[in-house]
Amino acid sequence: MRELYNKIYEIIEKLDYGDIWSGFNRYPFALYDKENVFFKDKTIPYNTCFLGNTAIEYDGAFLAIWCVENPLSENPEALAANIVHEMFHAYQRANNESRFPDDLLMLDYPYTQDNITLQYSENLLLSQAAKSQDLLEKKNLLMQFAAARKYREGLIGDIIKQEYLRETVEGMAEYAGNMALKQISPELYKERVGGYIEKLEVLDERLFDIGRLLYYSGFLLCNTLAEAGIDFYHAIGDAELPLFDIIADNSLAEKPDIEVDKTRISAELMNYMDSKKSGFNAFLSAHKDEVSGDFYICGYDPMNMVKFENMILCSHFIMLMGQESSDPVFIEGPVLLKLRTGTTNNVMSYIR
């Protein structure tokens, strides 16, 4: 792990951060596993403030962190770019970024036939814009993408703002990481961009992993805007509007004129909903240890949570705070939460 850390440190030290995003600068980072946390000049025993791949406040400063299960399987160049993604989160937080999504509200995302079909149509338009080598065509496809999204906004209402916010915070961090990768290895960068385009075009169960898709669409939106010569730069911390509203504020709403396989989408949606219900039923059949109380959610892994009715299944971990307690309770997953009716984070019991 120490050798991997040193390789990554050497890579990120050479990057031009101002070229990635004006005002952006390097932040310290740590790699960790279940036993140790590795910094530039020290190694400490693992503790539970290191959770996930993110940016945290540690020892009075913002720190990018990344969990490494097997150092020998990591590509230092690709991982360095991922670390820059987390450094950009540190930069966002240090500059008082306010456009973070409500992840718990996003769990109530409307998985309806119309919404999913329209979102898939948008993603196809964006992927076509990303692939186009013709400047005028690229700009025209971006305009069609913006019009299609405005149309969908009229269909599903305010919940789409949570999409815009996640796409802003995570998509811009993904853009920063991939601009770093472009400096590190143009070949890996080209390969990764192609992979993101493919992920937007695929028509299977991944279509319903909305949170993850917004990483890809956010990056491709930034990257395609840059390639089209459309300025989207803004000072982090000063902007209140999400990225999409900044660049498409005056766009007209128009139903997308692009052919998609609606029958296939309908079948995949039915399979997804059936699979989700089966997953909850299987968990409830196998786990009976239920703890009742009055808790609220204070820490979570947004990429590994799924909701069905008033229940949330957390496969990784959850942190709960009791109404009468000052210390959070860390619960390793899988764990199922039962919410009080009409709330997004008030937990009346959990089952392990």
Please name the amino acid found at residue 144: Q
Strands (E), 59-213: 61-67
Q: What is the pLDDT of residues 202-236, one digit of tens each?
A: 999 999 999 999 999 999 999 999 999 999 999 99
Q: What is the domain extent for residue 116? A: 103-263
What is the reported pLDDT for 70? 94
Q: How confident is the model at residue 302 (pLDDT cuts 50, 70, 90)?
A: confident
Q: How confident is the model at residue 323 (pLDDT cuts 50, 70, 90)?
A: confident
What is the reported pLDDT for 349? 95
Statement: residue 325 has pLDDT above 80: no
Nearest one of 111, 113, 120, 106 to 149, comparing CA atoms: 120
Give the pLDDT mean for 58-72.
Answer: 95
Q: Is 271 part of any domain?
A: no
Q: What's the length of the chain? A: 352
Would you say the C-alpha torsion 2, 178, 164, 153 has a positive or negative sign?
negative
Please name the amino acid found at residue 263: T
52 shares a domain with 132: no
Q: What is the pLDDT of residues 239-291, one digit of tens each?
A: 999 999 999 988 889 999 999 999 999 999 999 999 999 999 999 999 989 99
C-beta of residue 337 within 8 angstroms of C-beta of residue 348: no
Please give the full DSSP string across 257-301, using - where no structure is assigned: -----HHHHHHHHHHHHHHHHHHHHHHHHH---EEEEEEEEEEE-
C-beta of residue 242 within 8 angstroms of C-beta of residue 165: yes
69, 84, 174, 321, 349 from 300: Cα distances, Å: 20, 22, 21, 12, 16
What is the reported pLDDT for 311? 97
Give the pLDDT mean for 38-63.
Answer: 93
256 shares a domain with 178: yes
112 shares a domain with 181: yes
- pTM to 2 decimals? 0.93
204 shares a domain with 65: no
C-beta of residue 4 within 8 angstroms of C-beta of residue 36: no
Q: What is the pLDDT of residues 249-261, one digit of tens each?
A: 888 899 999 999 9
Give, for 337, the enclosing helix (H) or strand (E). Answer: strand 335-339
140 shares a domain with 8: no
Domain stops at, among 263, 296, 323: 263
53 shares a domain with 167: no
C-beta of residue 87 within 8 angstroms of C-beta of residue 29: yes
C-beta of residue 54 within 8 angstroms of C-beta of residue 30: no
Q: Is 270 part of any domain?
A: no
Nearest one of 238, 287, 251, 207 to 23, comparing CA atoms: 238
Please, what is the average pLDDT of the chain? 95
| 174-213 per-residue burial string, b: 16 or more CB within 10 A, e: under 16 | bbbbbbbbbbbbeebbeebbeebbebbeeeeeebbebbeb
- R_g of the chain computed on alpha carbons: 21
Q: How confident is the model at residue 8 (pLDDT cuts 50, 70, 90)?
A: very high
What is the reported pLDDT for 207? 93
Q: Is 279 part of any domain?
A: no
Q: How confident is the model at residue 134 (pLDDT cuts 50, 70, 90)?
A: very high
Residue with tokens 């070949």: 187
What is the reported pLDDT for 97? 96
Give the pLDDT mean for 315-326.
Answer: 87
Statement: residue 334 has pLDDT above 90: yes
d(CA 85, CA 96): 17
Domain stops at, among 72, 94, 116: 94
Residue with tokens 């979102």: 119
113 shares a domain with 89: no
d(CA 38, CA 44): 7
Find the farthest-apart pair of alpha carbons in the chain and give their distance in angstroms, rounded.
61
Q: What is the pLDDT of residues 142-182, one digit of tens each?
A: 999 999 999 999 999 999 999 999 999 999 999 999 999 99
Q: How confident is the model at residue 308 (pLDDT cuts 50, 70, 90)?
A: very high
What is the reported pLDDT for 327? 84
122 shares a domain with 12: no
89 shares a domain with 107: no
Statement: residue 61 has pLDDT above 90: yes
Percent of the chain at pLDDT > 70 equals 100
What is the reported pLDDT for 292? 94
Number of domains in the chain: 3
